[in-house]
Amino acid sequence: MRIIETRKAPNPRRVRIFLTEKGIEMPFEGIDLMAGDLKTPEFTAINPMQRVPVLLLDDGTAIAETVAICRYFEELHPEPALFGRGAAGRANVEMWNRRVEQGLFAAVTHVFRHLNPKMAHLESPQVAAWGEANKPKVHWMLGLLDKVLARHHYIAGEEYSIADITALVAIDFMKPAHLEWREGHANVARWHDEVSGRPSAKA
């Protein structure tokens, strides 16, 4: 069993943080997405979406999509629970993880990929106006998270979850996207300082 990843890319980091929180050690195989390694016939046979991360099981099964990989490990190692507890708790974590993934992570990704000339060969067509259009979406979502974190310790309530991992990686991805976030978001800053201090954040 191994995970194919690109070290600097944000989605593989979500999986590494998740595994570190669970105390699971896994071998990683690095491939270079900037050099076109994901477009080869060999990698495309593993993941037709040409994206990392991918978990390769010993029987050859390939599991792509960050949340699918995390769910696989949650099933095998339920503690600490990172997808919530009980029907309502799991639904709540799912709700917040999807909100953060679609509302923040995706918007930051669009800013980065559509405005950075180095990403032109991966993001085609690169539409600068779409990158710009996503900047207010990022700030709207940060405003919402700031209100949530005024009332709760973590994004999905009082327990650390995959929603915190997705939000941490999305917010850290704002740096290479040249987006500022701290000003006016004191509760997000309190939360970010805390989750960044967990050993898993270095994964």
Ligand X SMILES: N[C@@H](CCC(=O)N[C@@H](CS)C(=O)NCC(=O)O)C(=O)O
Site residues for ligand X per CB under 6 A? 9-11, 33, 38, 50-52, 65-66, 122
Supply the minimum distance, in Å, between the C-beta of residue 183 and ligand X: 27
Nearer to ligand X, 110 or 185 (CB): 110
CB of 66 or CB of 134, closer to ligand X: 66
* Nearer to ligand X (CB atom), residue 36 or residue 143: 36
The widest CA-to-CA distance across the chain, in whole angstroms, is: 50
Task: Answer for the pair 90, 83: CB distance below 8 angstroms, yes or no.
Answer: yes
Candidates 74, 98, 60; CA nearest to 22 is 74
Nearer to ligand X, 47 or 200 (CB): 47
Q: How far is the CB of 68 from ligand X (least distance, A)?
A: 8
User: Least distance to ligand X from the beta carbon of 198, Å?
Assistant: 21
How far apart (Å, rounded) are the C-alpha atoms in residues 112 and 122? 12
Cβ proximity to ligand X, 146 vs 164, nearer residue: 164
In angstroms, what is the minimal distance from the CB of 67 to ligand X? 6
Q: Residue 158 Cβ, how far from ligand X at the closest point, in Å?
A: 26
